[in-house]
Amino acid sequence: MKRPTTFGRVPQPMQLLSRALVAGGLALGLSACGEAKVAQCNRLIETLNKSQAIGQEYAKANTSQNPSAEVMENLATQMKALAAEVGQVKLSDTQLQQYQGQFAQVYNDLARASERLAAAQKRVADLDRRQRSEESPANSEAIFKESKQIEQDISDATKVTDGVAQQEQQLVQDVNAYCTAP
């Protein structure tokens, strides 16, 4: 089913992300995993769980269906920083390294989508101002064309966040399964 878009509506990316990596906590210390694997899993998961704090901060700052460009830019900055931090976690386990790279990519993709949404929000605000000040039919046609392009940009960025959410959900399951396996 295609997700409907409306002009000026911006998706809620952090509602799509921040699934609990450790639902109730991974009992890593009690598992039969090797000590090195347990420690590495704990380091990676501790860093990944920071996305939840970012999501909570985003939810607190975003009090409307249309988050401001500033809120989206802040989200992009935080997600870039988290992607970099995830990439800095010291891991020797090759499987965890793969997950690490995939999570960093997910967070970078979300950052780029958030930047696109911020730019679209700025264009929406600018278009609204122009629409109120320009009443000629020629300007109306230009404004209409631009609004369609903005709507497409928002739709494209929304598709990215939807895809990122699916990737992240699968990665969470994979990491949980790997870290709890003997």
| 177 pLDDT tier (thresholds 50, 70, 90) | very high
* Over residues 61-71, mean pLDDT: 79
pLDDT of residue 42: 94
Question: CA quadruple 109, 113, 118, 122: dihedral positive or negative?
Answer: positive
> What is the CA angle 111-4-150, rounded to 5?
55
Rounded CA-CA distance 95/85 in Å is 18
* Over residues 16-34, mean pLDDT: 40
Q: pLDDT > 90: what percent of the chain? A: 45
* Over residues 110-137, mean pLDDT: 84
| 31 pLDDT tier (thresholds 50, 70, 90) | very low
Answer for the pair 166, 18: CB distance below 8 angstroms, yes or no.
no
> What is the CA angle 113-19-155, rounded to 5?
25
What global pTM score does this model have? 0.76
Rounded CA-CA distance 111/75 in Å is 7
Q: How many Å from the N-terminal Cα to the C-terminal Cα in the chain?
A: 40
Among 10-14, 91-95, 171-175, the minimum mean pLDDT is found in 10-14
pLDDT of residue 47: 94
Rounded CA-CA distance 138/156 in Å is 28
DSSP H or E segment with residue 135: none
